[in-house]
Structure 1
Amino acid sequence: MERPLLVYTTFADAETALAIGEELVRARLAACVNVLPGMRSVYAWKGAVERGEEVVALFKTREGIAGALAAALKERHPYETPIILHLATCGADEDTAAWILGETGG
């Protein structure tokens, strides 16, 4: 059975994250996206240290479509260089894994 995968990214606001997340769920590239508001970030960007408020988006998907999800995120993301991290799962509840795989065409 193909393994579930979490894809981590950030957005400037929840509405953008939800809108893009909904597009990617409707496209069956993710079974779900969780948007977590209220994150404050400190990061290095083009030689300067910046601060900002962002939201985290966690996409629940499967390993076999990680590249397609990343490409779709980059295409839609408003950031010049969006953070896209693939977080491998070391295990998942059997029913959870089946749901993710089923909703993403796996």
Structure 2
Amino acid sequence: MTKSAQFLLILTSLPDKTSAQKLAKILIEQRLAACVNILPSCTSIYRWQDQIETANEIPLLIKTVQERYTAIEKLIQSNHPYELPEIIAVPLDSGLPDYLQWVTRETTEKNT
């Protein structure tokens, strides 16, 4: 495993497939994430402003490195239709070394 990078799995959800695809593409284009999985629609039940809400949402799984977290958080907030988007970062303790090296390579800014 690459020792210099701490790896993250970032979770967020969007209200529709179009906005999920748009955000995923921006994350990859800007090399903020190596891979974004767009999962099938799920039903979320939550309390918001003292009301119990039910919503269909599209979950995203974002694979990245710790050093890209702040930029990802800002990007999600600026491209997300919700007033308070879900942004949860889960640290990854281990993984297939070759895969984690690929994540590091894909999230490194290239000089072009």
TM-score by length of 1: 0.95
Determine which of 58, 72, 77 is the counterpart of 1:74: 77
Percent identity between matched residues is 32
Q: Which runs of 5+ in 1 are unaligned?
A: none
| Distance in 2 separating the partners of 1:101 and 1:79 | 30
Alignment of 1:1-40 (within 5 A): 1-40=4-43
Taking structure 2 as the reference length, what is the TM-score of the superposition? 0.90
User: The residue matched to 1:7 in structure 2 has which SS?
Assistant: strand
1:11 and 1:56 in contact (8 A); partners too: yes
Report SS of the residue matched to 1:37.
coil
Please state how far the C-alpha of 1:100 moved relative to its aligned partner: 0.5
Deviation for aligned residue 1:42: 0.4
Inter-partner Cα distance in structure 2 for 1:16 and 1:67 = 20
Q: Is residue 63 of structure 2 the alignment partner of residue 57 of structure 1?
A: no
Q: Is the 8 A contact 1:4 1:92 kept in 2?
A: no
Instruction: Give how far 1:24 is off.
Output: 1.2
> 1:62-104 deviations in whole A, cap 9, x for unaligned?
0111111111111111111100000111211101100100000
Q: Output the aligned Cα RMSD.
A: 1.1
Q: Is the 8 A contact 1:5 1:89 kept in 2?
A: yes
